[in-house]
Amino acid sequence: MPRCADAGCARWRPERLAPRWATGMRFNGEWYCSRACVESAAREGLDTPVVAQPSNRALRHLRIGVLLRHTGVISETQLAEALQSQRASGRRLGQELQHLGIVRGDVIVRALAGQGNVRYLTTFDVERVKRGPSWLPSATVRALGIVPFEVIDATRTVKVVCAAPVPRSALRALTTLTGWEAEPYLVDDEVWQRALDAYRPAPGATEQEQGEARTVKGLSDAAAWIADAAQSRRSVTMRSARSGDYTLVRVEAPSVMSDLLIAG
């Protein structure tokens, strides 16, 4: 007979001594004898959320002002003017350059996309977001800061729009949580914000298709929530990833899917 997967417990599974409903629960494919053992395993797993390591070829990014000056898009005088104006306005430098009429928004997006080695869109119809994939909870999309607008089923790729700088950790987190490869397209901040506001889960989607997202206070609260789900559903799986200020956890059980968002 197998033992409880919690190394600190190792209790025998009572296959022949109890009815099926009383024989513990499964977490990530392993058998655990109790809710407490699942909570311990979940807490241990959440201490080191899985995120793919960035490529060693990643280069240190230049500031947008230095980049535009280096490529001859703006002069030293124009950069100095924008920096001085920025101190009063509080805008990001790229926005200030646009506000002053020194550089068009599409030029900035193109430069940043080239620096980040990603594709870009100088125009984007946010209706594509409304017609696109909608199987992520809205809170998850906002936490990641990337907005899906198209999927390619054959390659399990989801196209997303994002603002600069390219949110690499969010792209990796999306792949970790869903199993779909994220293909980023850079857009300017205003377009990105409109796309983010336009995103909604599909109306009428099942609980499994749409899922839910809830914010929890910390890793311990997340582990307790996962243990409760395992106790009620008898079997759950968990995947976690770090993105920016959040640890995101996807919990799946028969006919149910939930995302847990842990800030900090």
Kindly report, residue by residue over 93-143, the tens digit of the pLDDT: 888 888 899 988 888 898 889 888 899 999 999 999 999 988 899 999 999
Give 225's contacts (C-beta < 8 A, 6+ positions apart): 214, 216, 251, 260
Q: Which domain holds residue 181?
A: 120-198
> Domain check: are 98 and 160 in the same one?
no
> Domain check: are 187 and 249 in the same one?
no
Contact yes or no for 50/223 (Cβ under 8 A): no
> Domain check: are 135 and 183 in the same one?
yes
160-209 pLDDT tens trace: 999 988 999 999 999 999 999 999 999 998 899 999 999 988 765 544 44
Structural domains of the chain, count:
3
State how far the Cα of 33 lies from the Cα of 23, in Å rounded to an integer. 7
> Domain check: are 137 and 193 in the same one?
yes
State how far the Cα of 148 lies from the Cα of 58, in Å rounded to an integer. 24
Give 101's contacts (C-beta < 8 A, 6+ positions apart): none
Q: Is residue 1 part of a domain?
A: no
Q: Is residue 243 part of a domain?
A: yes
Q: Is residue 57 part of a domain?
A: no
Q: Is residue 178 part of a domain?
A: yes
Tokens standing for 165? 């700088």
> Domain check: are 104 and 166 in the same one?
no
Please, which pLDDT band fits residue 49 given cuts at 50, 70 and 90? low
244-255 pLDDT tens trace: 889 999 999 988
Domain boundary among 198, 222, 245: 198
> Domain check: are 136 and 165 in the same one?
yes
State how far the Cα of 18 lies from the Cα of 98, in Å rounded to an integer. 71
> Domain check: are 124 and 168 in the same one?
yes
> Domain check: are 128 and 146 in the same one?
yes
Q: What is the value of pTM for the model shown? A: 0.82
Domain boundary among 146, 163, 198: 198
> Domain check: are 132 and 150 in the same one?
yes
